[in-house]
A and B are shown apart, each in its own frame.
Chain A
């Protein structure tokens, strides 16, 4: 007994402190379960406990961010081993991003309690505890996804992010569409998880280690074989599923249509952000590898945005259109991962990474704005069919105008944040193209796809403002909280595109430094006693 306790490794407080946001989220999960036992099961109580925990985690992330700015990076590493978890500025950005979005989704859920028809709202309120445990669990998984380079942790994190999402997709148990969506999601997820695990087992078999930087070093030393390539491919399948890149995108429209609007909102941004963060980490760690990985990512990105944009043409449900739109945007953001031309020095912002972070930040607001507006309509009318949006410009102008702003930002039109996001992505692609000519192809794909996407975004705007109905449509009284959220998003997008453009770019630049594995390795070495 005594022998065992001396061998037992408990992470020292100094190391654990870097991962306070994750610990806070775990504590919140426990609190969400425990508080109703003491104070009674009330929907608002669960939501408020969750909200408090998430905001606390967000503040702690800010604190970690300040420390990262001083010390560059740190890791949670068992003695004499590479770090299991990493805290660097890249991870801090994604954690803050996910927590901010989680706050917004929680607020949207709270508004849904009063915005929905009472019978429906009661049904959702009855299971608030389970909802928030699942939501926080998937958020925790996504936060771990972006802060690790260990294959075992990656697998666990992807599962922790996915499994609760499957249950969330079927959250409304009396809705057959939700059950179907959930089942489809589970089947796709199970197959891709199996392929990912198989790939990871190949990598482990070939290199005898789970640490990606070690594997990358071995591959650079000439150890790259077919097994390693197939293993990496398997890992990319798992990541591709999370960001719904094209061969693995089939679950996305069905899940968005079948799940409740809050869940669809959460998946549309958070799942993609976490997947892209993980992908960028893996790609930069494997930077010494030859171009095969970058070319694969580029081809997948092209297929993703082109197919999604054409598939969106025929949809009659706004949630389905938005699902394809989110796939297309995942494709645009994948392009940033295909560039990875290293910056002049580690301390200099990496153009591609900076473009990705800026795009994500803008995407959060424009996508959340559109989803919140759709939620307002769905709460009132009971469905998100495109026909419910006819004449919305007159029925509810305070909803229709900001929604149109968010949609135009999704297209990427000039005075809005979406334009600058696409612009900086083009700049990154262009500067990469100076070195690899093939990137000009991606520039062309991005520009053409922006044109293709114009049609289906403008179709919604046309329905809202220009389409006239024979009968005079009933006025719509959207939920006030929802209105505030949508309008706030529109204002933020206007600011991003005009006055705040410089500040946003500087913010993205600040978090796009020290991307490479070298400072992490140094930090890990410093932590080993």
Chain B
């Protein structure tokens, strides 16, 4: 059953790759210069790396191998961002996800995993239900990919997007920006509370004055 599911997922990923290729074909202008061909080659190479490493995460049962594959997938997506001239987003992707989050995950995996603890406790009908949901979602997303007319944005003439993003954060998106800062403050306090190991004595000290 698991093998069947894997094949379904693999087939899904490959057709998604084909769909992306089909979608990427459309905006390429008919006048083929060498730079567009190079761009196309870079796009397909990075998309292939992203998808293949994504697939490897699904197939591999080894957590450390999964993490390495995730690194490759995140790096390839960062490459796609660079290709789209969104260099700030690409840099953030590399620094925050590939650099920060992934290292955190690696440490988490290494500190907590025990041999044999990754056994799946999934029942038969749950696999079937999951498979049905995945296939439905996949068909839906394929339809979206093929049928929607995406709003296109003209490429920016500026060499970098950093200034534009900074300006947007302090003008049009000032309110969400500030709200995000409140969110981070509240969660910082919440996280500090949850991870702090309060010894009996410390808690009592505080509590005596209640």
**Which A residues are within 8 Å of any B CB, using their own CB?**
4, 7-11, 26, 29, 33, 40-44, 76, 78-79, 81, 84-85, 113, 121-123, 125-130, 133-134, 137, 140-141, 144, 150, 152-153, 156-157, 159-160, 163-164, 167, 170, 173, 202, 205-208, 223, 225-228, 230
Contacts and interface: CB of A to CB of B under 8 A. Distances in A.
A163 B210 contact: no
A49 to B, nearest CB: 15
Contacts of B153: 208
A19 B179 CA distance: 13
Contacts of B186: 29, 133-134, 137, 160, 163-164
A227 B147 contact: yes
A123 B190 contact: no
27 contacts: A4-B170, A7-B170, A9-B174, A41-B209, A42-B209, A42-B210, A78-B173, A85-B175, A122-B203, A126-B210, A128-B210, A130-B190, A130-B192, A130-B193, A137-B190, A144-B179, A152-B173, A153-B175, A156-B183, A157-B179, A167-B191, A167-B193, A173-B198, A205-B151, A206-B148, A223-B149, A228-B148
Contacts of B171: 7-9, 78-79
A186 to B, nearest CB: 11
A250 to B, nearest CB: 13
Contacts of A144: 179
Given A206-B150, A225-B149, A153 B210 contact: no
B25 interface: no
B contact patch SS: helix
Contact of A11 (B174, B179, B192): B174
Interface string B19-52: 0000000000000000000000000000000000
A205 B174 contact: no
Nearest to A131: B193
Interface string B136-164: 00001101100111110100000000000
B189 interface: yes
Max chain A Cβ within 10 angstroms of own Cβ: one of B186, B203, B207: B186
Contacts of A167: 187, 190-191, 193-194
A51 B151 CA distance: 48
B126 interface: no
Nearest to A76: B175
A202 B206 contact: no
A388 to B, nearest CB: 26
A108 B154 CA distance: 56
B167 interface: yes
Contacts of B190: 130, 133-134, 137, 163-164, 167
A202 B167 contact: no
B210 A160 contact: no
Given A134-B189, A134-B190, A163 B170 contact: no
Contacts of B175: 11, 76, 78, 84-85, 153
Nearest to B197: A173
B182 interface: yes
Contacts of A227: 144, 147-148, 150
Contact of B172 (A81, A125, A128, A223): A81
A8 B144 contact: no
Contact of B167 (A7, A79, A170): A7
A34 to B, nearest CB: 12
Nearest to A205: B150
B189 A159 contact: no
A295 B68 CA distance: 45
A78 B171 CA distance: 7
Contacts of A137: 182-183, 186-187, 190
Given A78-B171, A79-B171, A173-B198, 14 more contacts: A8-B171, A29-B185, A33-B189, A43-B210, A78-B175, A133-B186, A137-B183, A156-B180, A160-B182, A164-B187, A206-B148, A206-B150, A225-B144, A226-B144
A205 B182 CA distance: 28
A121 B203 CA distance: 12
User: What are the nearest 8 A-B pairs in CB distance?
Assistant: A208-B151, A137-B186, A227-B148, A122-B207, A125-B210, A167-B190, A130-B193, A84-B175
A264 B174 CA distance: 34
Contact of B183 (A7, A81, A126, A159): A159
